[in-house]
């Protein structure tokens, strides 16, 4: 039953008609629990609130699977405005993006031009940029682009997903770039040919990747709500005396919010991933797929008004 619900929400996440409706009617359709506003101004306010509790942020302007150059350029411009706002408002925040939103599926020329503009803005405004990882069909291309950009810019990192069989080899390959990596389990529906189907294997892989990347001496963002993964990281950090400035925990806005602050109080660095914008449908449906119990939060958002 749980698996059927997960598949249902993943199916909905790709539904274009619902996405259109969500844009038209806005966050009152139930998006506000996981999304920090529809405009840059609203996102800035949410970031200020989080920063005032001591939480760092990585902010993401929602949107994915763009197929016209015009929209990809608009999204790039909007990303740059967000990066400038982070600097102007003196926020403790980084920027995260999905390359399908910046023209990755259109052409190599378009995506490289847009990414260089964003990273230039990041450099000028002292803002670090993380390239989110999308579905497995785009993994190799994402890593290739990351490597090319990393040779030109210091302020860029990316993500690896521990449900993919390939990730351990990717970590070995990426090590020569001393990359700043966010480690996640993975949020997309993937076939058994490329990804572990069982949670226990994904968890074991998560631990292996976290340990390897930390012991390689690279900055590691441990992005999970799973207490077992958090405990494991603490234990590795203690055992191998990993300095606190070499790793941080990351969680999504609206999920286990009380734990964000507790981890801070325990002395760990904590960053909240904060999406904003009108294109929130796919993102929200993936959160529901991860944990159908989250439906309660969404319904609360709808009926609160």
Residues with catalytic function = 132, 182
Q: How far apart are CA 289 and CA 270, in angstroms?
A: 24
Q: How far apart are CA 235 and CA 220, in angstroms?
A: 15
Q: Which is nearer to ligand FDA, 155 or 224 (CB)?
A: 224
Q: Name the minimum Å distance from CB 2 to ligand FDA.
A: 11
Q: Which is nearer to ligand FDA, 9 or 80 (CB)?
A: 9
Q: Which is nearer to ligand FDA, 27 or 159 (CB)?
A: 159
Cβ contact 160:209 at 8 Å? yes
Q: Name the minimum Å distance from CB 28 to ligand FDA.
A: 22
Q: How far apart are CA 72 and CA 76, in angstroms?
A: 6
Q: Name the minimum Å distance from CB 122 to ligand FDA.
A: 17
Footprint of ligand FDA on this chain (CB under 6 A)?
A: 132-133, 159, 161, 182, 184-188, 223-226, 250-252, 255-256, 273, 290-291, 294
Q: For the range 28-33, what are the long-range contacts, defined as Cβ-Cβ under 8 Å and sequence gap of 24 or more? A: 28/301, 28/302, 28/305, 29/302, 30/284, 30/298, 30/299, 30/301, 30/302, 31/280, 31/281, 31/284, 31/298, 31/301, 32/301, 33/254, 33/294, 33/297, 33/298, 33/300, 33/301
Q: Which is nearer to ligand FDA, 69 or 291 (CB)?
A: 291
Please give the distance of CA 127 from its chain centroid, rounded to a whole number.
Answer: 16
Q: Name the minimum Å distance from CB 60 to ligand FDA.
A: 9
Q: Name the minimum Å distance from CB 241 to ligand FDA.
A: 25
Q: Which is nearer to ligand FDA, 109 or 254 (CB)?
A: 254
Q: How far apart are CA 100 and CA 98, in angstroms?
A: 6
For residue 236, the tally of other CB atoms under 10 A from its CB is 18
């Amino acid at each position: 039953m749980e698996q059927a619900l997960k598949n249902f929400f993943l199916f909905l996440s790709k539904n274009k008609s619902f996405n259109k409706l969500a844009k038209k009617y806005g966050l009152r359709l139930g998006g506000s629990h996981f999304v920090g506003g529809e405009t840059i101004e609203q996102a800035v306010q949410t970031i200020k609130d989080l920063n005032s509790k001591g939480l760092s942020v990585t902010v993401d302007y929602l949107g994915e699977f763009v197929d016209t150059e015009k929209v990809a350029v608009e999204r790039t411009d909007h990303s740059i405005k967000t990066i400038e706002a982070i600097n102007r408002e003196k926020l403790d925040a980084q920027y995260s993006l999905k390359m399908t939103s910046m023209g990755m599926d259109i052409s190599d020329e378009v995506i490289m031009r847009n990414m260089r503009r964003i990273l230039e803005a990041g450099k000028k405004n002292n803002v670090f940029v993380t390239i989110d990882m999308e579905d497995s069909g785009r993994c190799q291309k994402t890593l290739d682009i990351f490597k090319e950009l990393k040779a030109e810019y210091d302020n860029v990192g990316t993500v690896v997903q521990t449900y993919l069989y390939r990730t351990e080899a990717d970590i070995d390959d990426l090590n020569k770039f001393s990359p700043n990596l966010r480690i996640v389990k993975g949020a997309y529906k993937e076939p058994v040919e490329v990804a572990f189907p069982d949670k226990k294997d994904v968890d074991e892989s998560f631990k292996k990747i976290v340990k390897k990347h930390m012991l390689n001496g690279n900055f590691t963002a441990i992005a999970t709500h799973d207490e077992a993964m958090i405990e494991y990281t603490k234990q590795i950090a203690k055992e191998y005396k990993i300095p606190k400035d070499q790793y941080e925990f990351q969680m999504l806005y609206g999920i286990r919010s009380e734990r964000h602050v507790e981890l801070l109080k325990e002395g760990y660095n904590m960053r909240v991933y904060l999406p904003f914008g009108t294109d929130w449908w796919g993102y929200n449906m993936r959160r529901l797929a991860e944990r159908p119990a989250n439906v309660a939060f969404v319904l609360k958002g709808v009926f609160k008004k």
